[in-house]
Structure 1
């Protein structure tokens, strides 16, 4: 067994548990995990409402519709820029860590226990395409095929351990590569890809050079040129120049974990991590320069705004904005100051934040 497979999962208290959810360390559905039955994979999402303030982890746009998701499979939809919400039908009760849309109707969501969900109706209903049981089996089949069924190979032994462990490894982020293509990444270096709208998911673990099975927390792409960036724990920064077919490990400017990456152009890549550590590259990740956001808190989410600016949130709910054409971030006022796990911009320009307090508007361009 490799050293990384033996390492202990960190323990977190208070707001640290939010980071654990974002990073996929804490596993949802503890009762199911303890019993070994994984019942949350076959149980529908918990019934809830925004008024109950469930812990939400991700948000996205599906055309003009807002979609936010989080603990126990809860997923809400809004067609009026977040004024009112309704709950979508989700077939699993696991925490959803990321949701993204390829078109106003087709989207994917990923979460704990290796779950991948897909919608073809703008998020109204979802179906499970993959879970940790099937993912581990696919990993083993792929490793055996690549090694000629050599059971002594490290890749095969690792995949066999994944099968034995059961579906306890979460996916943490996903990237839309096209209307029918997506890449998902997660804990212990997990990576899967589809190019047929999810009819088949294939492991991409072997595409990552020097895979030490570190957690992969976030993924982003430079639109139009096929360059993909992935960041994760222990300063992991990966780059693919062929839309995720293969990855190289880049020199990292920081040894701590990164939780967000934003590639806004071929000359602009931003990465954000623990203790306010943030860096910018103007040469596709070859070199990095530190960004001073005046925050000592962990940076949890970053989005590119419709007006060309960039908005970043830290774990305490402080927001930082970079104007279009600028390289400097400045703090901005927000109507609320609550811990944030993710950001999403509504069609009217209002930015909503998701986190342990549910979903709330946190920034409006009209208030600047």
Structure 2
């Protein structure tokens, strides 16, 4: 152990003991409202989406921020928890849901300005160790949430009740589920070890779709005639026949691809853990890197109504306008 590490450990132990002596009663992050912070939009954020014309982003410590001017300015929402938030979904301009660590599920009925807690891990069989990584609603009533160790939840009443749906998943190894991806009328789930699941509405079951990749998939994106999956070390594959056949895509990067999206004009975006931003105008057959004035790790992106994309990551929010030279 280096001198630096020894000193660091000693300081941490002293701080912990001193803090324990001075601190008041413990308050669970599930019961502690998010603290207001002027730095919320420039601190780590993990997902971003559109709520009508508004942009809404979520991140650690219960931070939720929103913008009504294409990301130029951000305000912090009122959130009743301080748990880390990992994903957000707005099926309409007013109704949205956010999920995160400790099995927390939040709901907003006013476009992301105010939030209320609908559920947390204390009510789930998995307990507060449950981690939700993504959420998606098709409308104001029907939604899904996924997470670690095959955690799969479904609601049919706007999140008032969540049903454990693990038994409806063709995932016998209990692999982590990383994302929900609606493509046309289909709904996909990505996961570890190249896992790709597709919802069969008739049987109400997520069935496996074979993929040529054995590493973790972080997400999928698509439109009619295109399904694109992406994951570790720059790996991406595309299918034009709903996953029956796959072609490798040369992303040009060798770090994890962590975010993707499709613009209003049909362009396909990919972003990486290292901050690479890639653009395709041929339905994902090829990608070209985009020059950026600033860059940083990207965890999610959202189309900005044909202006470009809004990116979030460990350094907060930034925008990229593809119209600029």
Matched, 1:172 2:172: no
How many angstroms does 1:272 deviate by? 0.6
TM-aligned CA distance change 1:93 to 1:248, over 3 Å: same
How many angstroms does 1:204 deviate by? 1.3
How far apart are the structure 2 equivalents of 1:41 and 1:114? 10
Aligned match of 1:200: 161
How many angstroms does 1:351 deviate by? 1.5
Stretches of structure 1 lacking an aligned partner (at least 5 in a row)? 1-30, 32-36, 137-161
How far apart are the structure 2 equivalents of 1:107 and 1:184? 13
1:201-216 matches, within 5 Å, as 201-216=162-177
How many angstroms does 1:348 deviate by? 6.0
Aligned match of 1:365: 322
How many angstroms does 1:324 deviate by? 5.1
TM-score between both structures, scaled by the size of structure 2 = 0.88
How far apart are the structure 1 equivalents of 2:318 and 2:263? 17
How many angstroms does 1:49 deviate by? 2.7
Contact 1:81 1:348 in 2 (8 A): no
TM-aligned CA distance change 1:288 to 1:324, over 3 Å: closer
Query: 3-state SS of the aligned residue for 1:103?
Result: coil
Choose which of 222, 240, 245 in structure 1 pairs with 2:183.
222
Q: CA RMSD in A?
A: 1.9
Choose which of 297, 300, 307 in structure 2 pairs with 1:342.
300
Choose which of 103, 118, 125 in structure 1 pairs with 2:92.
103
Matched, 1:355 2:313: yes
TM-score between both structures, scaled by the size of structure 1 = 0.78
Of the structure 1 ranges 46-55 and 57-66, higher mean CA displacement relative to structure 2 is found in 46-55
TM-aligned CA distance change 1:179 to 1:275, over 3 Å: same
Largest Rg, 1 or 2 = 2
Aligned match of 2:252: 294
How far apart are the structure 2 equivalents of 1:264 and 1:93? 36
1:266-281 matches, within 5 Å, as 267-281=225-239
Contact 1:205 1:211 in 2 (8 A): no
Of the structure 1 ranges 339-348 and 119-128, higher mean CA displacement relative to structure 2 is found in 339-348
Q: Over residues 235-279 of structure 1, what are the superposed CA-to-partner deviations in whole Å (9 max), with x where a residue is unaligned?
A: 1111113199211112221111011111322x3111110000101
Of the structure 1 ranges 237-246 and 73-82, higher mean CA displacement relative to structure 2 is found in 237-246
How many angstroms does 1:46 deviate by? 2.8
Choose which of 80, 87, 94 in structure 1 pairs with 2:76.
87
Contact 1:177 1:243 in 2 (8 A): no
Contact 2:238 2:284 in 1 (8 A): no
Matched, 1:247 2:236: no
Aligned match of 1:329: 287
Contact 1:217 1:230 in 2 (8 A): yes
Query: 3-state SS of the aligned residue for 1:56?
Result: coil
TM-aligned CA distance change 1:324 to 1:122, over 3 Å: farther
Q: Over residues 87-107 of structure 1, what are the superposed CA-to-partner deviations in whole Å (9 max), with x where a residue is unaligned?
A: 101111111111110110001
Aligned match of 2:44: 55
- The alignment covers a number of residue pairs equal to 301
How far apart are the structure 2 equivalents of 1:167 and 1:306? 38
TM-aligned CA distance change 1:244 to 1:198, over 3 Å: farther
Aligned match of 1:116: 105
Contact 1:228 1:244 in 2 (8 A): no
Q: Over residues 163-218 of structure 1, what are the superposed CA-to-partner deviations in whole Å (9 max), with x where a residue is unaligned?
A: xxx31121001122223211111100011111211121111111112432111001
How far apart are the structure 2 equivalents of 1:244 and 1:261? 22
How far apart are the structure 1 equivalents of 2:293 and 2:229? 26
Identify, as 1 or 2, the structure richer in helix.
1
Aligned match of 1:23: none
How far apart are the structure 2 equivalents of 1:120 and 1:83? 24
